[in-house]
Amino acid sequence: MNYEKYSIGQLAKKTACKVETVHYYEKIGLMPEPPRTDGGHRVYALPHVKRLNFIRRSRALGFRIEQIKELLKFIDEPNHYCGEVKAMAMQQASVVQEKIDDLQRLQSALNEMIIQCSSGNKQVDDCPIIDALYTEKVVGQ
Amino acid sequence: MNYEKYSIGQLAKKTACKVETVHYYEKIGLMPEPPRTDGGHRVYALPHVKRLNFIRRSRALGFRIEQIKELLKFIDEPNHYCGEVKAMAMQQASVVQEKIDDLQRLQSALNEMIIQCSSGNKQVDDCPIIDALYTEKVVGQ
DNA sequence: ATAGAACCTATAGTTACTATAGGTTCAAGG
DNA sequence: CCTTGAACCTATAGTAACTATAGGTTCTAT
């Protein structure tokens, strides 16, 4: 296997990731320690690019680091089934949906307060937004 | 003004907040240093309750600590206008809306992957979710 | 007086990065 | 070959908003 070689900076650029983040992922075990030059510089290749892209895409989908470790274990080790991956994805979809619902409730509360503030030239003492935050039970709490 | 007196634990309970968080808010200047007993225990009263409720509600709405400092400054200092509060609330609503949009894109991407995984008993090697994370450009990245 | 709960301050940990500091390596140009 | 500046290295600290822990003191009820 003769792959093209990449420095960490090149790997980071290919994956829209920071060098420090690659260091971090290696430290926490998401990325393997790569071979080095005689001078100690890391040397990466295509499989590293693919693995880091996998990690970044999973992060983008909101999977936590620990979950990504699980997903990578499914890949790295034999005898795992697509069903296990699907279950994780479905669980994640459920988490995302809950966040969306939460945020939509917050949005409603904010919009309600904004509507009440028809004029912006009242003193803060008479501000319905401030009143709401000080006294009323705000949806989303 | 003779208010009822509360310990920090009582304050925390009234505001659905942790004692440590109250300490934290005092440290960062959101909450004032209250009077103490001779033994050094903090003594709170109703205005503290109201202020902490304000802070918690604002947090619940997604305002950052720095923003809440601004809001509290509007209250603590004279010569501010409701319009300034409204602007902050509208900016916050905009931020929340953007988060909602992001999350909905993530949700679509997750659901798309889940749909592709019709059967859960394939080996991981053939898993369309893993494939998608490894090779395709996932929406939301 | 005793015991246990609640309080205190100080510090570290959580999550997922990100920044900084001080030093080394590498590559390009003269 | 030498120089220079970019990129690399490791180690540590910082970010945001809390939260946990440790060791000691105060308070209250019995």
Residue B79's φ and ψ, nearest 5 degrees, are 65, 40
Of A19-28, A83-92, B23-32, which gets the smallest average pLDDT?
A: A83-92
The total of structural domains in chain A comes to 2
| Among B98, B85, B140, B70, residue whose Cα is nearest residue A106 | B98
Q: Which residues of chain B have pLDDT under 70?
A: 1, 120, 136-141
Q: How far is CA A60 from CA B106, B109, B113, B114, in A?
A: 8, 10, 14, 16
- Tell me the per-residue pLDDT of A88-132, one tens digit each, with 9 for 90 and over: 999 999 999 999 999 999 999 999 989 988 776 778 878 888 888
Top residue of B84, B110, B118, B126 to mutate, by most chain A CBs within 10 Å, is B110
Residue A107's φ and ψ, nearest 5 degrees, are -60, -40
The CATH number linked to A44 is: 1.10.1660.10
Cβ distance B124 to A57 less than 8 Å, yes or no, reads no
pLDDT of residue B93: 94
Banded pLDDT at A135 (limits 50, 70, 90): confident
- Contacting residues for A51 by C-beta, under 8 A, at least 6 apart: A31, A32, A72
Q: Could you list the residue range(s) of the whole structural domain that residue A136 is in? A: 81-141
For residue B113, give the chain A residue with the closest CA: A89
Domain assignment present for B76: no
Q: Please indicate, yes or no, whether residues B21 and B1 belong to a single structural domain of this protein.
A: yes
Cβ distance A81 to B54 less than 8 Å, yes or no, reads no
Spatial contact of B43 and B3, defined as CB atoms under 8 Å apart: no
Q: How far is CA B17 from CA A133, B52, B54, B59, in A?
A: 16, 9, 12, 11
Cβ distance A124 to B80 less than 8 Å, yes or no, reads yes
Place of tokens 């949005």: A107
Q: How long is the CA A17 to C1' D3 vector, in angstroms?
A: 32
For residue B59, give the chain A residue with the closest CA: A141
Instruction: Answer yes or no: is A4 CB < 7 A from strand C.
Output: no
Q: Please indicate, yes or no, whether residues A10 and A61 belong to a single structural domain of this protein.
A: yes
Would you state the structure tokens that stand for residue A38, as one six-digit string? 């005689």
Q: Which one of B51, B70, B89 terminates a domain?
A: B70
Q: Please indicate, yes or no, whether residues B89 and B130 belong to a single structural domain of this protein.
A: yes
Q: Please indicate, yes or no, whether residues A92 and A63 belong to a single structural domain of this protein.
A: no
One-letter amino acid identity for B35? P
Instruction: Answer yes or no: is A57 CB < 7 A from strand C.
Output: no
Which one of B103, B124, B132 has the shortest CB-CB distance to A103?
A: B103
Which one of B60, B87, B133 has the shortest CB-CB distance to A140?
A: B60
pLDDT of residue B137: 57
- Tell me the per-residue pLDDT of B40-57, one tens digit each, with 9 for 90 and over: 999 999 999 999 999 999
Q: Please indicate, yes or no, whether residues A57 and A40 belong to a single structural domain of this protein.
A: yes
